[in-house]
């Protein structure tokens, strides 16, 4: 894809960057830490690792390389959804463990099945699974929207695989020359084996 080539080129150019040079650029860069901190305050709960969330966000930013503030916001949404999805897994683990402790001693798989059966009868597990589905869809939608924005920004360039233009040529190809019927062969006055009169004689 042409957009992938552009992304890789932008990433390579960004790796050579020495940071902002103008006072305005330095001010904008200094606010990035504040922005990350505000996001951490909104997403990370007491007892969770703020450094872990900041690392997760940094990994997403490095991997996707936002081209502007709009893409940056979408990547923040992805990181927040990812973090909250993992939290929901931890909640499910805690709920199942709590129910598992009420099960009688015996086979471990049977105890897990009993805990799951009891938990499934309550509304908590269904609510948690709907929450997980919503977070997963938020993550996927933000990622899809980033790719849509990048595809819309790339002009119609030749395909890097075939180096052929993506669009049809503006002029139709020339028509092949018309076929002319063959000329009648000159009549042979000599008798031919197919001459009916000569065969009868």
In this predicted structure, the answer to whether residue 82 has a pLDDT above a threshold of 50 is yes
Tens digits of residue pLDDT in 86-97: 999 999 999 999
What is the average per-residue pLDDT within 123-152? 93
Question: How high is the pLDDT of residue 193?
Answer: 53
More confident residue, 58 or 181: 58
What are the CA-CA distances from residue 72 to residues 18, 62, 146, 171 (Å)? 20, 11, 9, 43
Backbone angles phi, psi at 104, to 5 degrees: -70, 155
Tens digits of residue pLDDT in 158-190: 555 655 555 555 666 677 666 666 666 556 555
What's the number of CA atoms in the CB half-sphere (13 Å) around residue 89?
A: 8
Backbone angles phi, psi at 31, to 5 degrees: -80, -10
Q: Which residue has the tokens 């899809």?
A: 144
Question: How high is the pLDDT of residue 42?
Answer: 85
């Amino acid at each position: 894809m042409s957009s992938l080539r552009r992304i890789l080129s932008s990433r390579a150019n960004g790796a050579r960057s020495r940071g902002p040079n103008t006072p305005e650029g330095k001010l904008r860069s200094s606010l990035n830490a504040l922005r990350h901190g505000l996001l951490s305050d909104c997403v990370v709960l007491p007892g969770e690792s703020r450094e872990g969330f900041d690392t997760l966000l940094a990994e997403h930013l490095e991997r996707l390389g936002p081209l502007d503030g709009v893409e940056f916001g979408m990547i923040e949404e992805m990181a927040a959804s990812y973090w909250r999805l993992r939290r929901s897994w931890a909640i499910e683990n805690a709920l199942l463990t709590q129910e598992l402790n009420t099960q009688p001693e015996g086979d471990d798989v049977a105890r897990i099945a009993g805990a799951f059966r009891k938990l499934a009868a309550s509304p908590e597990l269904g609510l948690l699974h709907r929450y997980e589905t919503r977070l997963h869809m938020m993550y996927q939608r933000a990622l899809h929207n980033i790719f849509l924005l990048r595809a819309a920004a790339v002009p119609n360039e030749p395909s890097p695989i075939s180096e052929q233009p993506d669009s049809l040529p503006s002029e139709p190809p020339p028509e092949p020359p018309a076929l002319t019927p063959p000329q009648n062969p000159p009549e042979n006055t000599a008798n031919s084996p197919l001459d009916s009169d000569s065969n009868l004689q």
